[in-house]
Structure 1
Amino acid sequence: MERRYKRINDASKELSEEAFRAYTGKKDYKRAIEIYYLLAESICVPKEISNFSKNMLGKLSKQIKEKS
């Protein structure tokens, strides 16, 4: 069970980093939203990553509204 938790935690961190790179570096908001939504809504994702993803979704939606 501990191995499974570690694998999920590592995968969640990698996805979070990928989404952050898509958001800040490439300005690929669609990809960032897809990843952050997955991390925010999945049950098995650690709480701190889920909360961070929810906050980033809020920031992304605010930026998209400002640009429109």
Structure 2
Amino acid sequence: MIKRAKRINEISVQLAEEAYKAYAGKRNYKRALEIYSLLAKYECIPKNISNYAKSMMARLGKKIEDTR
């Protein structure tokens, strides 16, 4: 069980990093939104990463509205 929790935590961090790179570097908002929504939705994701994903989704929403 502990191994599983560690693995979920590692993967969550990697996904958050990938989403941030898509958001900030490549300006691929669709990919970033997909990853952040996944991280924000599931209960097995650590709370700090889930909260970070929710705040980034709000930022992303504002960014998308500004580009229209």
Task: With the length of structure 2 as denominator, give the TM-score of the two structures.
Answer: 0.99
Q: Distance in 1 between matches of 2:63 and 2:18?
A: 19
Runs of 4+ in 1 over 2 A off after TM superposition: none
The unaligned stretches of length 5 or more in structure 2 are none
Alignment of structure 1 residues 1-68 onto 2, 5 Å: 1-68=1-68
The unaligned stretches of length 5 or more in structure 1 are none
| CA RMSD across the alignment | 0.4
Q: How far apart are residue 16 of structure 1 and its match?
A: 0.3
Identity %: 53
C-alpha distance after superposition, 1:2-22 (max 9, x if no partner)? 000000000000000000000
Q: Kindly tell me the number of residue pairs found equivalent between the two proteins.
A: 68
Task: With the length of structure 1 as denominator, give the TM-score of the two structures.
Answer: 0.99
